[in-house]
Structure 1
């Protein structure tokens, strides 16, 4: 995406293997597993999943990942562009079918020594200045909200994956 005005890379090390982290990423999304952040903001007040939800584990290329509820005919969703379970996935948002993406969000899980995972996520956003209201919203959301939301999400994934791994090893 050549025009991205916002580029952010965030990462966290998780004390669980990629295969234990992957299910938490697969179920991300509004009215899916949530985003493991501030549910009032990210999931319309519904709590994010605290367990791996089997019904949400069959994500495929082309599936939509909703970001929030529809408002005034506007609904934002990323589409799964590619995936290589359990190591990588790319989401893209296209304002209109066939157009170049205005936003991408990638996920990379890198196996680390000791059964750990380095989870790296990258977000790119073109503000689309030709649509001023949308550009202003994206600017505000990305520049002021992304760091706190992404940090909370990564910590939420870490807590859940590590908790699931420790509870399964003690069972």
Structure 2
């Protein structure tokens, strides 16, 4: 019995630390206190107050150079530049692109951005372009896989704000309408950590793809 109470106390302590320390930092990774409540494109789509996660990263490129990478995201295209091994385990059939594809640059309001292979639609939501303003705002509305023609249940926004000529701040905001108790538990214990990991993976992938090519230094020929 003593072991049971000790285990229970440990679990309670872990949950308290996660809820009050880890989770707030996870949901606002890279975002300053002033930026947390900043109004971004797509905020008007989900009412009332939804679950919200806002993250940000500074990228060493101008918005015009970052924009093509965002436009070509999705299954059967450039994927999400994140952790491909995790995506493979989930059966998403995603393959990250390492360069910009001109044939994937035509994106319009209403177009579907597939999160995974269509055969996995029963597990992953349907996302459609809700708002697009090159090269500043790209907003996807999220629909439940069981009924993609109803009111959106979430929104995923990408906002590019120039810092200077060579740097841009990329904001991403995921918002999901208040679900049922079961949905809240799934979102709390699974979706939030999963989104955090994959979003950070995307940031890392974008940084890698936007990094300037290393300079090639040639050794001087020495004639003896």
Which TM-score applies when normalising by structure 1? 0.82
Match of 2:172 among 105, 121, 124: 121
Deviation at 1:138, TM superposition (A): 4.2
CA root-mean-square deviation: 2.6
| Residue 66 (structure 2) pairs with residue 17 (structure 1) | no
Q: State the partner residue of 1:149.
A: 198
Q: Which runs of 5+ in 2 are unaligned?
A: 1-45, 217-224
- Aligned partner (choices 120, 125, 138) of residue 89 of structure 1: 138
The whole-number CA distance in structure 2 between the counterparts of 1:140 and 1:13 is 28
Residues 35-94 of structure 1: CA distance to partner in whole angstroms, max 9, x if unpaired? Answer: 111113336454300101111111111100111224576252210011000110110013
In 2, Cα distance between the equivalents of 1:82 and 1:28? 15
For the pair 1:77 / 2:126, whether they are aligned, the reply is yes
Whichever of the two has the greater Rg, that structure is 2
1:55 aligns with 2:106: no
CA distance in 2, matches of 1:31, 1:37: 15
* Distance (whole Å) between structure 1 residues aligned to residue 49 and residue 118 of structure 2: 25
Q: 1:141 to 1:24 in 2, by over 3 A?
A: farther
TM-score, length-normalised on structure 2? 0.64
When residues 56 and 16 of structure 1 are mapped into structure 2, their CA distance, relative to the original with a 3 A threshold, is same
Q: Is the 8 A contact 1:30 1:42 kept in 2?
A: no
Query: Does structure 1 retain, via aligned residues, the 8 Å contact 2:93–2:116?
Result: no
Q: Give the number of the structure whose residues are more often strand, by fraction.
A: 1
Distance 1:45 1:62, change over 3 A: closer
Which of 131, 154, 162 aligns to 1:103? It is 154
Is 2:94–2:116's contact at 8 Å kept on the other side of the alignment?
A: no
Higher RCO (CA 8 Å, separation ≥ 6 residues): 1
